[in-house]
A and B are shown apart, each in its own frame.
Chain A
Amino acid sequence: MRGMKLGGRTTMKVRTYGRHFKEGSKNLVRNGWMTFASISAVTVMLLVVGAFLAVIMNINHFADSLEEDVEIRVFIDRDAETSEQDNLEENIDTLSGVDTIDYIPRDEGLEDFIDSLGDEGDYFESLREENPLNDVFVVNAENPEQTDRLAADIEGMDHVENLEYGQDIFEQLFSATDFIRIAGIVLIAGLLFTAIFLIANTIKLTIIARKTEIGIMKLVGATNSFIRWPFFIEGLLLGILGSILPIAALTYGYDQLYHAIGERTGLDFFEFLPPYPMLLQISVLLVVTGAVVGVWGSLMSVRKFLKV
């Protein structure tokens, strides 16, 4: 009697991968509309994820550039005497981490402001009679990490009306985008589950359609993983195909936007992230997300409907 072949081979052969790939693709075609619906769901989800990522990455980039800002603008009480202003300057100077202190008298500040507006500045000429501005100390920290602490210390000093530094804008920006972020995450979670659900359903259809075939495969000695692989590949393909359109749309759209905005001046405080490497990073993430969603969806159905 011939001996039993136990244990078997653990590594899969290349031709086997080829077969699984072929079977997985065949299933895609066979499922027609469900395949289309699944890919569309992944596409919509990844479009939102991609756009959301582009926005978040730009906000983070902006926040980083603000964090690097060492400048604190200290607005001095309008009724402070010259001697009191000098006192304040000395007090600031004694703080550790202060690099430079520049004094900008209110008249000079107004001059700069009107100049910066160019022709339109003429409308503000009348302000010269009743200058609404404060005298300002522009304090530069030695390094960005100290900006926060210095600002807090200066804020507590006498004759400081208020002050302005990067962190402020940063926090305002974030409280404004908090809503957007939460809404975005909820939306993405909803779309994610829709996509997974649709993929799981597509795979379920395949499993039901191939019931007899799977039964025969089992009886002639196919291993469980051999039987499952085509379904994972089908899910994987659904996910990856769903990522093509979002990547194309995002790459094209962002590139257009970047060049359109880049050609306009005036927005120099806010700088868009250059398309490269950001778009590459997002693209990789979208493909991976699509693949994970696809495999996850098929895993759910294989677990539930493929009792091997």
Chain B
Amino acid sequence: MIQMQDVWKTYPNGVMAINGMTIHIDSGEFVYIVGSSGAGKSSFIKMLYREEKPTRGEIFIDDKKLADYKERHIPYLRRNMGVVFQDFKLLPGLTVFENIAFALEVIEEKKDEIKRRVMQVLDIVRLKNKARFYPHELSGGEQQRVAIARAIVNNPSVLIADEPTGNLDPDTSWEIMHILEEINDRGTTVLMATHNREIVNSMRKRVIAIEGGRIARDEVRGTYNNES
């Protein structure tokens, strides 16, 4: 469960990115975060996994105040969240398998457990046959799937994806969406920032629209724009 109470974020350079957001997302929900470029979607997401701290207001994850987390406990907060970045952030020197295993190695998981979990998520994102490939040998959509696999390999309760269909063609985008839906069906909360009107309008989910750092709209089975 994710909760925000009157959250504000002003960057050190004076940009007011988030201006009083109050929000409640239950566990197991699937939420689209929409809004024009610069609206504050990424800022909103970054505060959830504590890449940025709010200037004002409180954020709760699983009823725990983020502000109460000591610096050394942040890693444990992050272990419960999977994050998919728009630019994938895969390590070029590691194979698909190693890139995903990396997320488990750094949290000191057992070797055979790592192998089991990685094969499991490779199955979910349908990349079992490319486990030994390097990122540069993959298409954009395949790389995106590796990034998703890495985000979910730790069994996080929340999956956060910042424009996961950013540079992908429609077919590949739908492939990604089906994977995200599947993950959501397994009980994982999914938060997804997107500019993809077609997807938002066809695969109806909760839509939170951000404008100028405020919530402009919050609909249970919403659409990309107001009028549609």
Residues of A at under 8 Å CB distance from B? 1-9, 12-13, 15-16, 19, 212-213, 215-224, 226-227
Contacts and interface: CB of A to CB of B under 8 A. Distances in A.
Nearest to B156: A2
Given A5-B76, A220-B106, 12 more contacts: A1-B27, A2-B80, A3-B62, A4-B76, A15-B110, A16-B108, A217-B102, A220-B102, A221-B107, A223-B75, A224-B75, A226-B106
A5 B204 CA distance: 33
Given A1-B62, A212-B91, A222-B106, A6 B157 contact: no
Contact of B108 (A2, A3, A215, A226): A226
B144 interface: no
Contacts, number: 75
Contacts of B64: 4
Nearest to A226: B106
Nearest to A3: B62
A223 B102 CA distance: 14
Interface residues on B, range: 20 to 34
Contact of B75 (A1, A3, A222): A222
B78 A220 contact: yes
A220 B102 CA distance: 9
A9 B72 CA distance: 12
A224 B72 contact: yes
Contacts of B108: 9, 12-13, 15-16, 226
Contacts of A12: 108
A108 B139 CA distance: 104
7 contacts: A1-B28, A218-B75, A219-B51, A220-B78, A220-B154, A221-B76, A222-B106
Interface centre among A1, A16, A224 (most CB of B within 10 A): A1
A212 B89 contact: yes
